Amino acid sequence: MGRCTRNATDYSLIFLMGQALADSSTSQSFIDEFPPELAKEIAWGLQQSELAANRPADFIAMANGLLTDAAYRYGADQMIAETQVAQAAPKASLYDNSATDEVIFSREMWDGAYEKALQTARGVADQLGGPDLAGYRAWWWYLTSVAANRVGDPAVAGEALERAVGTGINIAWLYRVMRKTRTNPPVAVEADPRAEELWNAIGHWGWTGPSFSNAMQEMRTRLSQTNHLDVHMGLEALGRCFGLRSLRPTLSGAPDVAWLDVNRGLAIEAKTEKKQDGTLYKKELQEAKGHPEWLRHFEKLDHTFPLHVSIVSPTMMLDPTAVPFANELYVTTLKPIQELADKAIASVTELRTMFLGRDFTEVRSHFEQEMHSKALTWLAIDSVMLGTKLA
């Protein structure tokens, strides 16, 4: 993305496309960090954007006027200058001291001076403290691990990643990095990585606007079908409601859907197109039992990583040749999944309202507590997906 304006005589209109971008760019925590002039422009733009919803023709006329009429543009500038914006008291930037180090680190990595880059990154990470800088601290610990790997010191790289995980930010992604770069399983942390995954999912669906309710209704509709593709897509969305990394792979031997967090996972095989008096066959059960190994291989999961398999099917009847392969498999039907989805939608909707306009690093613990109190947990999932053994 380039600059729209380069000098005092340039002018431009900026349109934010997508609910997630609009939400994040207009949140109070974001506005607080802007210079007052930009904060006023955003506030004025939000006021004018109401025209887009209520009187789109007037909105287009206003946009044309701003671009083509200098007097109209001058009047808008005056209105922006008079706009009142509530901002937190200005404070010294917590990032100032490390801005130069970012440039230094980049040059050292570019020049192949990995030892120096390691020292720079570790020095910055050690200096960053406090919850406000948790994400930035995690980033610098990650950079420390990158430099350490270049130096050829996996022990330091692993320690740096553990320190990054300890910040409680981007835990799920950091765990995936650890699994791909280390043989030892990741360390346990107090923070629940599902919280950030769910927070990001709500951001994707939209903290404000109709896209969230549309996404929830689409999930509900898909889970009311028996067509396998609809069910797969509905289950994928449902997993995200619980803060899980929800996969819908299409490779041979893969589960139809997989729900993963850093501690455990669930592979789901959908046989929803079968009839209630239908039969589950040996080949289908063998395929389902192979899903854990598929996930361990392609997701780089440790051999001790707990994985269960659940089959979604209207029938539990087994072909005689399938019986020996039914152990360690679970079965459920669409109805309890639909009920689970309804509860999850209600809970996520409440969280969306409760935490609108907040910053995740400030409310992480509270958000985690609310997730648990609203039963967005593995326990709720297990009661439905692992409630009945196939044999």
Class of CATH domain 198-385: alpha beta
CA angle centred on 285, ends 281 and 287, rounded to 5° = 120
What pLDDT, on a 0 to 100 scale, did the predictor assign at position 89? 61
Q: pLDDT: is 6 or 236 the higher one?
A: 236
pLDDT of residue 1: 46
If pLDDT is split at 50, 70 and 90, which confidence band does 187 have?
Answer: low
% of the chain beyond a pLDDT of 70: 92
Nearest 5°: CA angle at 11, between 75 and 58? 55
Q: How far is Cα 16 from Cα 21, in angstroms, rounded to an integer? A: 7
Q: What is the pLDDT of residues 79-90, one digit of tens each?
A: 888 888 776 665
The class level of CATH for 96-191 reads: mainly alpha
Q: Which pLDDT score, from 0 to 100, does residue 190 have?
A: 55
State residue 123 phi and psi, 5-degree precision: -65, -40
For the chain, the structural domain boundaries read: 19-82, 96-191, 198-385
Query: What is the reported pTM?
Result: 0.68
Give the separation between CA 349 and CA 354, rounded to whole angstroms.
9
Instruction: Compute the radius of gyration of the chain from its Cα atoms.
Output: 25
Task: Please state which of the ranges 231-240, 248-257, 334-343 shows the lowest mean pLDDT.
Answer: 248-257
Q: What integer is the mean pLDDT of 62-86? A: 84
Residues β-bridged to residue 329: 309
Name the residue with higher pLDDT: 171 or 244.
244
If one compares 82 and 313, the residue with the highest pLDDT of the two is 313
Give the C-alpha separation, 124 to 141, whole Å.
9
Nearest to 128 by CA among 155, 77, 167: 167
Please give the pLDDT value at position 183: 41
pLDDT of 15 higher than 70: yes
Q: Report how far residue 332's alpha carbon sits from residue 384's, in angstroms, rounded to the nearest whole number.
A: 7
How far, in Å, CA of 114 to CA of 111, rounded?
A: 8
Pseudo-torsion of CA 71, 74, 79, 81, nearest 10°? -170
pLDDT on residue 70: 86
Closest C-alpha among 217, 299, 226 to residue 258:
299
Q: What percent of the chain has pLDDT over 90?
A: 49
Averaged pLDDT for residues 315-319:
96
d(CA 270, CA 58): 50
Quote the CA–CA distance of 126 and 177 in Å, as a whole number: 21
Mean pLDDT taken over the chain: 87
Query: Which of 191 and 169 is assigned the larger pLDDT?
Result: 169
3-state secondary structure of 28: helix
How is residue 60 written in tokens?
């287009």
Answer yes or no: is pLDDT of 227 > 70. yes
Domains 96-191 and 198-385 share a fold: no
pLDDT digits (tens, 9 = 90+) for 20-60: 677 777 777 677 777 788 888 888 887 777 766 678 888 88
pLDDT higher than threshold 50 for residue 76: yes
Mean pLDDT of 91-119: 82
13 and 66 Cβ atoms separated by less than 8 Å: yes
Highest mean predicted confidence (pLDDT) among 24-33, 128-137, 142-151, 236-245: 236-245
Amino acid 55: pLDDT: 80
Dihedrals phi, psi of 249, to nearest 5 degrees: -75, 160
199 touches 360 (CB < 8 A) = yes
